Structure formats: C-alpha cells, structure tokens
Homo-oligomer: A and B are copies of this chain.
Amino acid sequence: MGKDKGPTFNLKTPKGTRDWFGSDTLLRDRIFSTISNVLKRHGATALDTPVFELREILAGKYGEDSKLIYDLKDQGGEICSLRYDLTVPFARWLAMNPEVRNIKRYHVAKVYRRDQPAILKGRLREFVQFDLDIAGVYDPMIPDSEIIRIICEVFEALGWNGRYTIKLNHRKILDGVFAVCGVPEDKIRPISSAVDKLDKMPWADVRKEMVNDKGLDGEVADRIEKYVMNKGSRELLNTLLQDEALNANPIAKAGLDDMALMMDYLEAFGVLDKISFDMSLARGLDYYTGVIYEVITEGSAGVQASSTEGEKPAKKGKGKPSEDDDRSNDPSVGVGSVAAGGRYDNLVGMFAPKAQIPCVGISFGVERIFSITKALLEQKQNGAALRSSEVDAYVMAFGGKGFTGMLKERMDICQKLWNAGVKAEFSYKLKPKLPQQFKAAEQGNIPFAIILGEEELAAGKCRIKEMGLPEGHPEKEGVEVTLDNLVSELQTRLASKQDGLVGSLAEQLSSTTV
C-alpha cells in the first residue's frame, strides 16, 4: 500500500449499490440458508460461476436491455461484462458440459444492471438473485410439480404459513384461449401482456388497452373476459375440460391435460390446496413454453392483519413492507410477487443448439422476501430492533476496591463456553466497569449475562442472569450456579428460551399467524 494521499475522494459506494451489515446481513443470511436447505432436501446442488463472462456470451441475449449490461474496460486480453442474470451463465455452463444431461441446480449470487436506481424503493444496480432450475428430459409435469412443492416448503420454512398464494397457469391454455376467442396470431403476445396486468388494474382498463391500444376486436375481448377472469382449482379445470371449443383446440387441450396431471401430482405431494389456478396469469417473459407460476403475498395488508391477534399495533413506519415492496428489480419476479417461474424448453437450445435441454425453474425474489420478513419480525417484536449478532452470553465481572478485573477468569469461562459451542463474548478491557459490560450486552441483544464476583468465584460459583427481566421478577438479579454446572445450566436456559432468538424463521414467526 502506498502513502496516505488524504481522503480527497467521495466516501460512498457506487451509485445503485449498498453495504450490508449487522441485523440486515444476519437476516439475509438466515433467509438464504433457509431457502438453500429446502433445495438441498430435494437434491439440488449449487453452481457458482464467475461474476463476469466473455462479452460475446451475453451478446444478443437481452434485447434492448443489453444497454444495461456493465462492461469491463478493455485492459488487453479478453473483453468481458458483468453477468446480467444467472440464466445465461447456467446455459453457458450446460453447453460447456455436454455430459450433464439432467440436473437440479441452484445459484444464489449478485447480478448487475445499469438501471436507473430507485434507492427509496430499494431498486438497486447490484442485487441478489436466487434461482433453482431442473433441467432434463423427463415424463410430463413431474419436476414441474416438485417445483411447486419446493415453493411451498420454502415459504413454510420462512414462517410465511398462511401468508402466500401460488398462482398457477399454463402458457398453452392461455394461447389456446386466445386462439379460440379469435385473437390473430400476431396479437397473441401483446394481448397476453395486457391480460397479465389484471392483477393491478380492473378488466375495463385492460379491455381498453386491448381494443384501443392494441387494435383488438371488442367482441374478441369480451370472449377473452369469460375465460381469463376465472380463478379456482379442480372445479375450474373440470369446467374447462368440458368446454367444447377449448377441447377442440389441440394447444389448449395439451395445456389442460398437463394441468390435470399436475393437479394429481400436487395432491400426492400434499400441496394442491396451496395453489390458485388463475387464468389471468400470463408472465412477461416470452420464453415460457408450459406451466407458469407466481407467488404473491398480501403484502402490507397481510402484515397488518397479523398484528391484530392480541398484540400491540406495529410501531408507526415499521411492519409495512409496502414501503419497499418494490425492492426487487428482478423482472423475472412480477410486481407484487415474491417468486416466479415456469417451464422454458427452448431457452438453453437457443443458446447452444447441440445442448438443447428442457428446463423448469423458479426465481425467488430474495430482496423483497427480505423486506417482508424483516417487517414481520419487527412487528412480532413490537418494533424492537432485530439482533445484529447471535451471541448467547456475555461474560462479565465486578468487584469493589482492589478489583483486578478477573480477565483470565473471564477468558477461562469463555473458553469453556466456546468449547461447548455456546456463543460468548467478554469485554476487551482489563478492568471493565459493570455498567459498561451491561451496556455491551444490551446493545448486542445478548440474552444472558454470566456474572463473576470475587467472593462467589472463590466459592466456585457465579451467576447466570437473564437480560431484560422485569422489575420484581424472582430471577431479576440472576441465579447462582456452580462453575462446574455453568455450561449445562446455561444450555438448559438457552434451549428453553423459546422466543425464537435462536430458532428457525418458521418458529420465530409462527406465533404471529392469524
């Protein structure tokens, strides 16, 4: 390193990027590991690729969004760009490894887009994508159904039980509906994208867009309405299976047969009640060829609702994920949705014709999942700050005149706790004052203090004090234990302190379920 030139520069992160620290990082890591543990339970394995790719690999893959790609400077040698998503690197990897003909891979990594950042909305230029894809030639709808099952396990593990719905549709059903209603071939994609807006505008406005902006015949639009406004489950499918016009259309028929098979499989997987067959779901991306799905949450409404169950109302400004509901700028995840995906059988082949492999996948909108989970946790804690470390115990000492600080004794106690796997800290001062030590424990939201006093220690004892007990609680001043029993006594208390401080997100959030 060179000599100090003085800080004549801006002390900031580049536009559209941010640092992550403290409770945010801790929660984000818990969310990542919660999701990846579910994926591993289904045999998925992680792929990790370089943050930059040869520019020609990315070229021609993103249409006019290519202008948002970050390029590396030409410093001699290869010309490279930062990855824009995780799909093209996956396709590149599949093409480079032709011996891999089937795979369940997940990839959690940052991607880069020179978009106009909207910091208030949390729209960033560097953000995390979390993708799972199952690639390979299989019998119909089996991996597709497992993806739905996986989605359910992920959101249950995140503690979102009762807070999410999986909207499900099939591109072939939609395309068949459009054909049956009389939409001209060249208008199918524009009309499809108009239908996709039904989750945020009423039919009248969507119809206006179809007829006025996209030149669709009004009667055709009215026929579309009769189909796409339907939501349901098996009974809706059964109605459609008796629709003569649809059944006469081979595309629609193929889609309906797929859907019937899928519902059987979802029942066997025990998750049929989690989905809503929603005929208005169209999904923006062109490359889907089969089932499509999107996970939605009630957002702020859902969060507020859960605070009415005998709890104090959430602190003003907290518990409202709507504030940064738009955090994710991942276009694979639609507005208001927290995960989305579908089957895309031609994408990999488009990239590398010889390596054509059908795929079905899901992309979790982890930035938005983070915002909502954080709001739920804060609400559960009545707006109290989330923990920024996972420390179980703070080892402290006090004494009167001639107080030595008992540093080595504190070190020895810590050593015993660490050996037992207990997360413990102590003051790095020789003679710390007791209030300073309590303040450190409080600032770290550390649940237990281990208190060493000279007299107790001479008698082979110390005290375990649970932090934050109310005045008058019988154990407010702590409980005396022998040094030999300290570790086991503390572990018992940690295990029984089931306020979720150390539990899973599902345990932590379960008691807020309405």
Contacts and interface: CB of A to CB of B under 8 A. Distances in A.
B153 A418 contact: yes
A205 B296 CA distance: 70
B4 A43 contact: no
Nearest to A264: B408
Contacts of A136: 428
A247 B17 CA distance: 52
B408 A126 contact: no
Contacts of A388: 45
A180 B356 CA distance: 72
B43 A389 contact: yes
A334 interface: no
Contact of A25 (B47, B77, B424): B47
A5 B60 contact: yes
Contacts of A21: 45-48, 93, 105
Contact of A142 (B47, B75, B407): B407
Given A71-B72, A75-B71, A269 B15 contact: no
Given A73-B74, A149-B415, A26 B54 contact: no
Contacts of A265: 407-408, 411
Contact of A61 (B2, B6, B14, B43): B2
A217 to B, nearest CB: 30
Interface stretch (A237-245, A344-352, A477-485): A344-352
A353 B269 contact: no
A76 to B, nearest CB: 9
Given A12-B96, A114-B75, A25 B1 contact: no
Contacts of A495: none
A471 interface: no
Number of copies: 2
Interface string A30-69: 0000000000111111111111111011011111000000
Contacts of A53: 13-14
A398 to B, nearest CB: 17
A60 B2 CA distance: 5
A424 B286 CA distance: 33
B418 A62 contact: no
A499 B428 CA distance: 41
Contacts of A214: none
A57 B142 contact: no
Contacts of A25: 45-48
A311 B510 CA distance: 50
Given A21-B45, A40-B389, A6 B411 contact: no
A404 to B, nearest CB: 13
A63 B1 contact: yes
A73 B26 CA distance: 33
A92 interface: yes
Contacts of A411: 145, 265, 268-269
A159 interface: no
A489 interface: no
A126 B51 contact: yes
A139 interface: yes
A389 B72 CA distance: 35
Given A40-B389, A391-B43, A408 B268 contact: yes
Contact of A73 (B20, B59, B63, B71): B71
B41 A424 contact: yes
A3 B424 CA distance: 57
B353 A17 contact: no
A223 interface: no
Interface in A146-160: 149, 153
A26 B46 contact: yes
A3 B430 contact: no
A71 B444 CA distance: 39
Interface of A: 1-15, 17-22, 25-26, 28-29, 40-54, 56-57, 59-63, 70-75, 77-78, 80, 82, 92-93, 95-96, 105, 110, 112, 114, 126, 136, 138-139, 142-143, 145, 149, 153, 264-265, 268-270, 286-287, 347, 349-353, 388-391, 407-408, 411-412, 414-415, 418-419, 421-425, 428-430, 444
Given A8-B56, A268-B412, 16 more contacts: A1-B347, A2-B63, A9-B57, A10-B56, A13-B53, A14-B80, A19-B47, A19-B48, A19-B93, A19-B96, A28-B48, A42-B425, A51-B82, A73-B74, A268-B408, A268-B411
Q: Which 8 A-B pairs have CB atoms at the shortest separation, nearest pair first?
A: A138-B428, A17-B50, A9-B56, A268-B411, A20-B48, A71-B73, A268-B408, A43-B425
